[in-house]
Amino acid sequence: MVKAGLRVGLGLDGISINDDDDMIQEMRVCFLLHRLNALDVAAPCLTAREIFKMATDTNAHLIGYGQDLGRLEPGRKADMVLLDYESMCQPYTEPSIDPVETLLYRGAGRNIHTVIVDGKILVADGRMMSFDEEAISTRLAAAAAQPLSTAEKEKALMTEALKKHLMHYYRGWTERIAVRPFYIANSRTGS
């Protein structure tokens, strides 16, 4: 799609994939999935910078905020995440490696030092400034430890019943599709 000239964004729609809402990790997954399944290291694939742009500038345009967000430029909102680059590079990273590649290969949400939204610091030294994380975590843990309600138990039973049907429906799916040009996780073809 990128080669065809389409604007392709990259984002998160919830915690259903891996429960951590870590955009850096999602960029990494995209980066690794789009590398060719070949031994040719010079084969064309999306670069770290292309994926970073998809997650920042392109996303801002796709959601209608391209004039305000997505880049650090005069006249745009001061929305930024400052990372502890040294912690990403531990124990060692070759200094000649592009910092964006280092971010996609080694970065994670734990490397976030400061978050600024519209010029206001929301996270400093990795800690939320607007609320007490420990107090909220304690309350959340206490609420989560409560027994399931009758309605929650019913939903869990329905989910299990639905799961059996979904597994039956998709059984053998990977044998019925052509996995070209790559492999199952990112094939462009199927039936």
pLDDT in tens, 85-113: 999 999 999 999 999 999 999 998 889 99
Whether 129 maps to a domain, the answer reads no
Whether 163 maps to a domain, the answer reads yes
> pTM of whole model > 0.75?
no
Whether 40 maps to a domain, the answer reads no
Which residues make Cβ contacts (< 8 Å) with residue 57, sequence separation at least 6? 66, 70, 71
Taking alpha carbons only, the member of 118, 48, 174, 93 closest to residue 56 is 48
* Highest-pLDDT range among 40-44, 79-83, 178-182: 79-83
Q: How far is CA 86 from the centre of its chain?
A: 21
Is the pLDDT at 74 greater than 80? The verdict is yes
Is the pLDDT at 16 greater than 70? The verdict is no
Q: How far apart are CA 99 and CA 10, in angstroms?
A: 19
Q: What percent of the chain stands above pLDDT 70?
A: 84
Whether 32 maps to a domain, the answer reads no
Whether 169 maps to a domain, the answer reads yes
> Are the CB atoms for 12 and 28 separated by under 8 Å?
no
Average pLDDT, the chain: 86
Whether 173 maps to a domain, the answer reads yes
Give the number of domains in the chain: 1
Mean pLDDT of 79-85: 94
Q: What is the pLDDT of residue 158?
A: 96
Provide the residue range defining the domain that includes 159: 147-191
Whether 152 maps to a domain, the answer reads yes
Is the pLDDT at 183 greater than 80? The verdict is no
Whether 141 maps to a domain, the answer reads no
Secondary structure (DSSP) of the chain? -TTTT---------STTTSS--HHHHHHHHHHHTS-SSS-TTS----HHHHHHIIIIIHHHHTT-TTTSSS--TTS---EEEE-HHHHT-S---TTS-HHHHHHHH--GGGEEEEEETTEEEEETTEESSS-HHHHHHHHHHHHTSPPPHHHHHHHHHHHHHHHHHHHHHTTHHHHS---SS-GGG-S---
